[in-house]
Copies of this chain bind each other. A is one copy, B any other.
Amino acid sequence: MANLADKIERYLKDMLGKTAEGFVVLQRGTLAHIFSCAPSQINYVLTTRFTVERGYLVESRRGGGGYLRIVRLGLDAEGNFRHVMSDLIGDELTLDRCSHIIARLEEEEVLTKRECALIKGVTSEKLAVFTPHPRRLRAALLKEVLTTVCRDDLNPDE
């Protein structure tokens, strides 16, 4: 974990984890200073790791009193997330987007680490060996997974 971007990501997610509001507000320059890096490095981290796909929203303002506000989206309580996810998945799904969605489901504790590994395994680039439309297949498989994890009989409530 030698790279800066990962450290900054961790730092921000820690902050988000500690706060009850579900969002944090900070300044780009200050953060850049903390990590002794170029301010644009912060933008890099935000655009690569705090995307909607991954479950985050970033708002900001320039000028005097400018700020960054990172909001953790979370999944809505009753498993309605399935609909949201289906939209996110669509009819075709690249490997990249697929990984992000899986990572998010893990962060939200919808899936265990092992389940995520299983799903990554069956949605890998190897699908291309079997079909000319691996992205369609990938989308279908992931939707199938969501359907399954939402089944009531599999979620003995606490």
Residues of A at under 8 Å CB distance from B? 1-6, 64-65, 113-115, 117-122, 124, 126-127, 129-131, 133, 136-137, 140-141, 144-145, 147-149, 151, 154
Contacts and interface: CB of A to CB of B under 8 A. Distances in A.
A148 B113 CA distance: 11
B6 A65 contact: yes
Given A130-B131, A144-B126, A115 B117 contact: no
A120 B151 CA distance: 13
Contacts of A64: 3-5
Contacts of A151: 117
Contact of A141 (B5, B122, B133): B122
A122 B138 CA distance: 10
A121 B140 CA distance: 10
B129 A140 contact: yes
30 contacts: A1-B65, A2-B65, A3-B65, A4-B65, A5-B64, A6-B65, A113-B154, A114-B148, A114-B149, A115-B115, A118-B118, A118-B119, A118-B145, A118-B148, A118-B149, A121-B144, A121-B145, A121-B147, A121-B148, A122-B122, A122-B141, A122-B144, A124-B144, A126-B140, A126-B144, A129-B140, A130-B131, A130-B136, A130-B137, A131-B131
A130 B129 contact: no
